[in-house]
């Protein structure tokens, strides 16, 4: 008898045109620039192995040049194919289709993780953050961006009776299915509960307003945003945080054997274009150079 799937619902961009319909040529140069500014301020000078969780089509992957290896994880196989076309198949990049609730990695194989424009699609933040902490070495760094519930627009709308939810309430709000905004205090509590110490929190995207973006150059707005990111004014639609993994945990950073069976943690061996569990004989495919852990082959 198979166990029922108790994982939370997953937002799946499989087959979508997210790259061309949302980013490329869609007036979001400002958002892209300010996120890169924030990232560069939080990234280390060097690192061994980075997990880019929710990498999508690799929009930000070129920012991680200080890491020797980058593992791109996304639930959408097709988005990873876009990333592979852009970045190539060198051993520096590893492409993995998997979900955040059951990461297919052994403990302590990363010294860095980034989660940018992803956690607002995560229904169970606690589970996802515990998974991230598990695969990080002690003192590993997590750069997490989240959609801020307590932003100026939401506060104005609530004060005028234009929305029902209170931006000052600590609980997340799901304003569209699998799209969540988070209160900064709530997110800090979740991070601490998962084993992270938040070192820095930075407001980003001060000028995410159509009227401004349509009339002023993106580079000008991004430059001003970069200055205001130091302000500590946490009422912007996006917040970047820099977090350190606390407590004792395994350090397997030097291993080249990254993968274990998702959920069970069983050892895997490679047989041709498959990874096989040594205990259950479950198999996961390696398709077109992408490790596919969305479901075992036999399911």
Q: What is the CA radius of gyration of the chain?
A: 19
Q: Give percent of the chain with pLDDT exceeding 90.
A: 90
How far is 187 from 147, CA to CA, in rounded Å?
10
What does the pLDDT read at residue 2?
36
DSSP state of 3: P
Domains and CATH numbers, the chain: 18-263 (3.40.50.150)
Arithmetic mean of pLDDT, 231-247: 98
pTM for the full predicted model: 0.95
Phi and psi of 244, rounded to 5°? -115, 135
What does the pLDDT read at residue 1?
30
What does the pLDDT read at residue 287?
96
Closest by alpha carbon to 229, among 73, 64, 34?
A: 34
Phi and psi of 227, rounded to 5°? -70, -45
How far is 47 from 115, CA to CA, in rounded Å?
17
Closest by alpha carbon to 126, among 8, 265, 43, 266?
A: 8
What does the pLDDT read at residue 299?
54
pLDDT band at 18 (very low <50, low <70, confident <90, very high): confident
Q: Print burial letters for 262-297: b (CB count within 10 Å at least 16), e (below 16).
A: beebeebeeeeebbbbeeeebbbbeeeebbbbbebe
Closest by alpha carbon to 68, among 117, 128, 109, 129?
A: 109
What does the pLDDT read at residue 298?
75
- Neighbour tally for 56: CB within 10 Å: 25
What does the pLDDT read at residue 3?
43
Arithmetic mean of pLDDT, 202-206: 98
**Angle between helices 218-228 and 29-42 in degrees, nearest 10:** 30
Closest by alpha carbon to 245, among 133, 113, 105?
A: 133
* Average pLDDT of the chain, as a whole number: 95
Longest dimension (CA), the chain: 62
Question: pLDDT digit string (tens) for 38-52?
Answer: 999 999 999 999 999
Question: pLDDT digit string (tens) for 133-169?
Answer: 999 999 999 999 999 999 999 999 999 999 999 999 9
How far is 120 from 261, CA to CA, in rounded Å?
26
Quick check: 6 pLDDT over 80? no
How far is 93 from 75, CA to CA, in rounded Å?
17
What does the pLDDT read at residue 100?
97
Question: pLDDT digit string (tens) for 63-99?
Answer: 999 999 999 999 999 999 999 999 999 889 999 999 9
Quick check: 5 pLDDT over 70? no
């Amino acid at each position: 008898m198979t166990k029922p799937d108790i994982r939370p619902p997953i937002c799946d961009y499989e087959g979508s045109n997210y790259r061309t319909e949302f980013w490329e040529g869609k007036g979001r140069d400002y958002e892209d620039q300010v996120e890169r500014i924030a990232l560069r301020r939080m990234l280390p000078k060097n690192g061994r192995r980075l997990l880019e969780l929710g990498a999508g089509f690799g929009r930000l992957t070129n920012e991680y040049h200080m890491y020797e290896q980058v593992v791109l994880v996304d639930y959408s196989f097709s988005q990873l194919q876009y990333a592979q076309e852009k970045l190539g198949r060198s051993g520096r990049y590893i492409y993995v289709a998997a979900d955040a609730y059951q990461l297919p990695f052994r403990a302590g194989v990363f010294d860095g993780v980034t989660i940018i424009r992803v956690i607002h699609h995560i229904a169970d933040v606690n589970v996802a953050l515990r998974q991230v902490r598990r695969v990080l070495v002690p003192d590993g760094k997590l750069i997490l961006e989240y959609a801020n519930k307590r932003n100026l627009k939401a506060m104005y709308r609530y004060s005028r009776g234009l929305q029902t939810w209170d931006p000052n309430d600590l609980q997340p709000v799901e304003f569209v299915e699998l799209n969540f905004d988070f209160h900064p205090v709530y997110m800090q509590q979740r991070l601490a509960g998962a084993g992270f110490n938040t070192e820095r929190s930075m407001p980003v995207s001060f000028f995410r307003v159509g009227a401004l973006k349509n009339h002023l150059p993106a580079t000008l707005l991004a430059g001003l945003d970069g200055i205001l990111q130091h302000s500590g004014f946490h009422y912007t639609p996006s917040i970047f945080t820099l977090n350190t993994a606390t407590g004792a945990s395994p350090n397997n950073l030097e291993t080249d054997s990254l993968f274990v069976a998702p959920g069970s943690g069983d050892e895997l061996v490679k047989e041709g274009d498959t990874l096989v569990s040594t205990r259950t004989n479950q198999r996961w495919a390696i398709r077109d150079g992408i490790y596919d852990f969305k479901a075992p082959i036999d399911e």
